[in-house]
A = this chain, B = another copy of it.
Amino acid sequence: MPRKTQEESQETRKNILECAKRLFSKRGYERTSLSDIAKYSGVSRGAIYWHFESKEDLLVNLVEYVDVNTEGVRYFFESASPSEQDPLSKLKAFVLCIFSEELSEFFNSSFVNMLIGISNGFSGNEDARAKLAELDKQRMDQLSKIIMNCVAKGQLPKNLNIRAATEHLAVFMSGIFFQTRMKNTDALKKYYSQIVDMEIEQLKLLVQS
């Protein structure tokens, strides 16, 4: 039975995306068939092809959809606001968040892992890869803005090597992200606040030579 209104159509689309996200996350891109997605979302395979041109097109759209609809990411974006008076605290707060169940949920999901598979070329296609590279760049730029904000507010040295500091933070955060997934951060948890302080302190050493 064909859906009627535009609204219902959009709901169908969203539903397909949500189900695809769940299944791709659980079983990976290659191991999830469109049949699975159709069954899981209660529509016909044809319906998926009405909304998306192909399985890979579904993936590209999914990457975009997930990016826009992830709470944590919005939060991350806010911390670079020029009106923020204490960006360093905000930054620390944000980094601390990664450990939290709430935010780490997304970063630790196997969906993200699937995205890594795409980045590295054994899932999806060039379109999806390009989209992901773009999003990664956006994240790095955002991180740079946060750091520049800290410099502007006098919380980090004027002659800080912005790019190096950004990369250092990225290294730390992705290390946490990675080891948490490997269940190798349990003993670290109680030192976490202290560690984040140290990492931020380290940033100050990365000055222009």
Q: Which of B114, B120, B164, B202 contacts A198 (CB 8 A)?
A: B202
Contact, CB under 8 Å: A187 / B164: yes
Interface residues of A in 21-42 (CB under 8 A from B): 26-31
Instruction: List chain B residues, Cβ under 8 A from A31.
Output: 30, 122
Contact, CB under 8 Å: B182 / A123: no
Q: Is A15 an interface residue (CB 8 A)?
A: no
Q: What's the minimum C-beta distance from A122 to chain B, rounded to whole angstroms? A: 3
Q: Mark A169-209, 1 if CB is under 8 A from B, else 0.
A: 01111111111011011111011001100100010011001
Given contacts A174-B179, A178-B175, contact A122 B110 (CB under 8 A): yes
Interface residues of A in 122-180 (CB under 8 A from B): 122-123, 136, 140, 161, 163-164, 166-168, 170-179
Instruction: List chain B residues, Cβ under 8 A from A27.
Output: 121-122
What separation, in Å, do the CA atoms of A186 and B140 have in the docked complex?
Answer: 13
Q: What's the minimum C-beta distance from A72 to chain B, rounded to whole angstroms? A: 18
Contact, CB under 8 Å: A28 / B117: yes
Q: Is A97 an interface residue (CB 8 A)?
A: no
Instruction: List chain B residues, Cβ under 8 A from A182.
Output: 119, 136, 170, 174
Q: Is the interface of A mostly helix, strand, loop or mixed?
A: helix
Q: What's the minimum C-beta distance from A195 to chain B, rounded to whole angstroms? A: 7
Q: Is A61 an interface residue (CB 8 A)?
A: no
Contact, CB under 8 Å: B172 / A191: no
Q: Is A93 an interface residue (CB 8 A)?
A: no
What separation, in Å, do the CA atoms of A194 and B161 have in the docked complex?
Answer: 14
Q: Is A113 an interface residue (CB 8 A)?
A: yes
12 contacts between A and B (CB under 8 A): A113-B120, A136-B182, A163-B187, A164-B190, A167-B184, A168-B191, A170-B179, A171-B185, A173-B175, A178-B178, A190-B209, A191-B206
Known: A116-B116, A167-B184. 11 other contacts (CB 8 A): A31-B122, A110-B120, A113-B120, A113-B122, A114-B122, A117-B122, A140-B184, A161-B191, A168-B188, A170-B175, A194-B205
